């Protein structure tokens, strides 16, 4: 019944996730017994197989902290100066609670003219000088500002006083106890050196308590949240790497759209030699030959995918790439013999895609659009046709490359920049602390239907041909349109 993966994927056809379907098997355990724990790279364990992509509209401090809280990880993007990227890592590493509110700062004499001055946060902080380096004196609630008839008044006239501050070194339970004990609705978080780093509210504490619990948070050997970082393959990226390691990055990803290059191989060798304790992930690759070269260079993990991302146009522009299901299966079947975990990167639009990627041999999935539009994604919410959205853009889009990410597409020596990605927007999805646990529950149910209770047993059963697949004829454009309409109606009515 159906095809063994080895046969299906060796017929000269490139399959995407939607082209294949897994045949159900035998269930003899509850869905909750499914263990999704895994490895990001050789020496980096995770309790859920989710990784946030190094993109400037996805992974900064708030995403890193939330992903680590959930037991996954984020790779902080490198489309910033080395000092700025290191500061993002330091900010994530300094947190002990799964929150980064990132409020705006004002002084008591400031006037707030625009909604956007709030950075999409429900509160802003008021300090004596309006900077993080002076004493916190109050908090401005967006709702208080919104109801002002005359907005041209100083903040001091309507701010709420900050009665007490919580030490930034507190963990979540300590902060919750502090707010409850003092009867506070909110408190600034203050570092040991007196810098005001953030704000916590009783509402946020309640919200986090109401979210389903997931696995063990990802913590590095330093006892702090695990954070990854992306580097490029230019000579100056060696200096960037030093900044990132000093800032506490636990794993680095050499970020190239086509990873099988002399530039990447040199960078991997350099990084492994200079920092033997650091796991280095290479990519992107989609073929065994590419993977072989990077494994020979010493990578601890492989990122798989070319042109499979939602914002990618590489396959259209350069005519190069591979269907993601085929790419993951091929590379993972080879990499497993070298004990190198595979990250299935791009093209994840639903929990079913995650199940397929993991069963086909990936150890984790890397996501961009799935996490964009969340509260934890960088950027501010905007309104488009009445919908609250956040920007999401390909790192190969002209807009992102203007900021420096062209090295990922080896465009640095060329005078002409050719876009390999687009800019778009993603609807407000709420907090990943809420929707990732639901997504993982759906993945567990998929595993249960297949009769596999862990990633390892899925990989074993696929290789031993117990698990089988079939080609799933893709829906016609009309069926797809109808499907979207039904989905929209369901979303609207739920
Ligand atoms: P998803 O589907 O999760 O994909 O949004 C995220 C992945 O897409 C890759 N990426 C790009 N690929 N042009 C490309 O061809 C781009 O501009 C671009 N930006 C990101 C990247 O691998 C990411 O993790």
pTM for the full model?
0.89
Tell me, yes or no, if 312 is annotated catalytic.
yes
pLDDT value at 264 more than 70: yes
Catalytic residue of the set 39, 50, 240, 312: 312
Ligand 1 pocket member 347 (CB < 6 A)? yes
Q: In Å, what is the CA distance from 418 to each residue of 154, 230, 318, 398, 400?
A: 48, 22, 10, 7, 12
Testing ligand 1's pocket by substitution, the residue of 17, 53, 357, 401 carrying the most ligand atoms inside 8 A of its CB is: 53
ipTM over 0.85: yes
Quick one: pLDDT at residue 97?
Answer: 82
Given the CA of residue 397, which atom of ligand 1 is nearest to it? 17
- The overall average pLDDT reported for the chain is 90
Phi, psi of 94 (to 5 degrees): -80, -10
Decide which of 248 and 485 is more confident: 248
Cβ proximity of 205 and 97 under 8 Å: no
Q: Which residues contact 324 (CB under 8 A, 6 or more apart)?
A: 16, 17, 304, 305, 308, 344, 346, 347, 357
Reply yes or no on whether 387 is catalytic.
no
* pLDDT for the residue 476: 64
CB atoms inside a 10 Å sphere around CB 449: 16
* Direct distance between the N- and C-terminal alpha carbons of the chain, in angstroms, rounded to an integer: 38
Residue identifier of the C-alpha nearest atom 11 of ligand 1: 312
pLDDT in tens, 53-71: 999 999 999 999 999 999 9
Query: Which atom of ligand 1 lies nearest, measured to the CA of 422?
Result: 17
Q: What is the pLDDT of residue 21?
A: 94
**Which of 378, 353, 373 has its CA nearest to residue 365?**
353
Going from the Cα of 256 to the center of ligand 1, the distance in angstroms, rounded, reads 11
Tens digit of each residue's pLDDT (9 = 90 or more) over 421-437: 788 888 898 899 999 99
Task: Give residue 487's pLDDT.
Answer: 56
Question: pLDDT tens digits, residue range 364-401?
Answer: 999 999 999 999 999 888 888 888 888 888 888 888 88
Alpha-carbon distance 50 to 369, whole Å? 13
Q: What pLDDT score does 192 carry?
A: 85
- How far apart are the CA of 175 and the centre of ligand 1, in A? 37
240's tokens? 């960037």
Is 305 near ligand 1, meaning CB less than 6 Å away? yes
H-type alpha helices, 25-140: 61-70, 82-93
Query: Per the structure block, which two tokens stand in for 36?
Result: 């999704």
The 8-class DSSP code of residue 280 comes to: E
Q: Which helix (H) or strand (E) holds 432?
A: helix 432-450
Cα angle for residues 346, 348, 350 (degrees, 5° grid) = 175
The rounded distance, in Å, linking the Cα atoms of 474 and 322 is: 17
The owner of tokens 């895609």 is: 353
pLDDT tens, position by position, 212-262: 776 789 999 999 999 999 999 999 999 999 999 999 999 999 999 999 999
Which run of H or of E encompasses 137?
strand 136-141
Average the pLDDT over 467-479 and give the result: 76
pLDDT band at 492 (very low <50, low <70, confident <90, very high): very low
**309: CA distance to ligand 1 center in Å?**
4
CB-based contacts of 263, cutoff 8 Å, min separation 6 = 233, 234, 256, 410
């Amino acid at each position: 019944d159906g095809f063994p993966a080895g046969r299906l994927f060796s017929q000269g056809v490139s399959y995407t996730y939607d082209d294949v379907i897994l045949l159900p098997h035998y269930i003899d355990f509850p869905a909750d017994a499914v263990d999704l724990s895994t490895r990001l790279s050789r020496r980096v364990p995770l309790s859920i197989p989710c990784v946030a992509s190094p993109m400037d509209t996805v992974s900064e401090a708030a995403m890193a902290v939330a992903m680590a809280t959930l037991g996954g990880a984020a790779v902080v993007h490198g489309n910033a100066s080395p000092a700025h990227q290191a500061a993002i890592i330091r900010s994530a590493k300094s947190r002990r609670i799964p929150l980064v509110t990132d409020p705006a700062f004002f002084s008591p004499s400031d006037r707030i003219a625009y909604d956007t001055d709030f950075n999409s946060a429900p509160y802003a902080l008021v300090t004596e000088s309006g900077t993080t380096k002076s004493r916190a004196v109050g908090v401005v609630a967006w709702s208080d500002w919104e109801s002002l008839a005359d907005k041209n008044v100083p903040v001091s006239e309507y701010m709420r006083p900050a009665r007490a501050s919580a030490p930034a070194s507190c963990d979540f339970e300590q902060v919750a106890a502090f707010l409850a004990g003092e009867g506070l609705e909110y408190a600034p978080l203050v570092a040991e050196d007196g810098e005001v780093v953030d704000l916590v509210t009783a509402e946020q504490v309640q919200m986090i308590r109401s979210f389903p619990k997931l696995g063990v948070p990802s913590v590095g050997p330093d006892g702090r949240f695990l954070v990854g970082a992306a580097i490029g393959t230019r000579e100056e990226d060696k200096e960037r790497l030093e900044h990132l390691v000093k800032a506490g990055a636990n794993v680095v990803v050499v970020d190239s759209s086509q990873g099988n290059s002399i530039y990447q191989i040199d960078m991997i060798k350099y990084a492994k030699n200079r920092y033997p304790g650091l796991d280095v992930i290479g990519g992107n690759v989609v073929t065994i030959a590419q993977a072989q070269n990077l494994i020979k260079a010493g990578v601890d993990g492989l990122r798989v995918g070319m042109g499979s991302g939602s914002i990618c146009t590489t396959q259209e522009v350069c005519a190069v790439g591979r269907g993601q299901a085929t790419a993951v299966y091929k590379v993972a079947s080879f990499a497993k013999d070298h004990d190198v975990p595979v990250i299935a990167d791009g093209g994840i639009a639903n929990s079913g895609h995650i199940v397929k990627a993991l069963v086909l041999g990936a150890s984790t999935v890397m996501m961009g659009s799935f996490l964009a539009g969340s509260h934890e994604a960088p950027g501010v919410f905007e309104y488009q046709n009445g919908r609250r959205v956040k920007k999401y853009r390909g790192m190969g889009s002209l807009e992102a490359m203007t900021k420096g990410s062209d090295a990922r597409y080896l465009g640095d020596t060329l005078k002409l920049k050719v876009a390999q990605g687009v800019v778009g927007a993603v609807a407000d999805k709420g907090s990943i602390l809420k929707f990732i646990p639901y997504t993982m529950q759906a993945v567990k149910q998929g595993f249960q239907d297949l009769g596999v209770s862990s990633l390892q047993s899925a990989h074993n059963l696929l290789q031993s041909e117990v698990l089988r697949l079939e080609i799933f004829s893709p829906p016609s454009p009309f069926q797809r349109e109808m499907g979207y309409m039904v989905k929209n109606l369901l979303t609207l009515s739920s």
